């Protein structure tokens, strides 16, 4: 009899599930300074404003959605106004940088 409540096979299986979960859902580490550049370069700023909170479109500064939802949003938007940004325009790493940038700024307009 094993002294552990989980069999070692179960533990290993659990470990792999854990890895798959984090590989799929978590943001790769993003660099906010690069993200700011991609945000301006891809003209996100033309709709959302140069600070994410001062444009005509919805305020996305200090974004609270998870990275997975954010990535889905830019890959395939459900609005006719916002264009979609495929991998060729905004790579996953660029998206992670933009995400890090948006998380680093505040939704309050301070000018």
∠61-83-41 over CA atoms, to 5°? 60
> In angstroms, rounded to a whole number, what is the distance separating the alpha carbons of residues 62 and 64?
6
**Residue 56 and residue 104 in contact, taking contact as beta carbons nearer than 8 Å:** no
Minimum separation from the CB atom of position 54 to ligand HEC (A): 14
When asked if residue 81 is in the footprint of ligand HEC (CB under 6 A), the reply is yes
Which range, of 14-22, 28-36, 70-78, 103-111, touches ligand HEC by CB under 6 A? 70-78
Minimum separation from the CB atom of position 30 to ligand HEC (A): 12
Maximum distance among all Cα pairs of the chain, rounded to whole angstroms: 67
Minimum separation from the CB atom of position 34 to ligand HEC (A): 13
When asked if residue 43 is in the footprint of ligand HEC (CB under 6 A), the reply is yes
**Which residue is it, tokens 């590989």?**
23
Identify which of 54, 35, 48 has the alpha carbon closest to the alpha carbon of residue 81.
48
What tokens were used for 105? 């700024």
Q: Which is nearer to ligand HEC, 20 or 54 (CB)?
A: 54
Rule CB under 6 A: which residues touch ligand HEC?
A: 42-44, 46-48, 57-58, 60, 63, 70, 73-74, 77-79, 81-83, 85, 90, 98
């Amino acid at each position: 009899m094993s002294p552990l409540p989980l069999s070692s096979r179960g533990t290993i299986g659990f470990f792999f599930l854990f890895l798959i979960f984090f590989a799929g859902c978590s943001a790769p580490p993003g660099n906010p300074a690069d993200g700011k550049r991609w945000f301006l370069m891809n003209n996100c700023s033309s709709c959302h404003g140069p600070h994410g909170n001062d444009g005509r479109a919805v305020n996305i500064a200090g974004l609270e959605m998870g990275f997975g939802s954010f990535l889905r949003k830019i890959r395939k938007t459900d609005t006719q106004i916002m264009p979609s940004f495929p991998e060729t325009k905004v790579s996953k790493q660029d998206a992670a940088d933009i995400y890090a940038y948006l998380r680093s700024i505040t939704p309050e307009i301070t000018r």
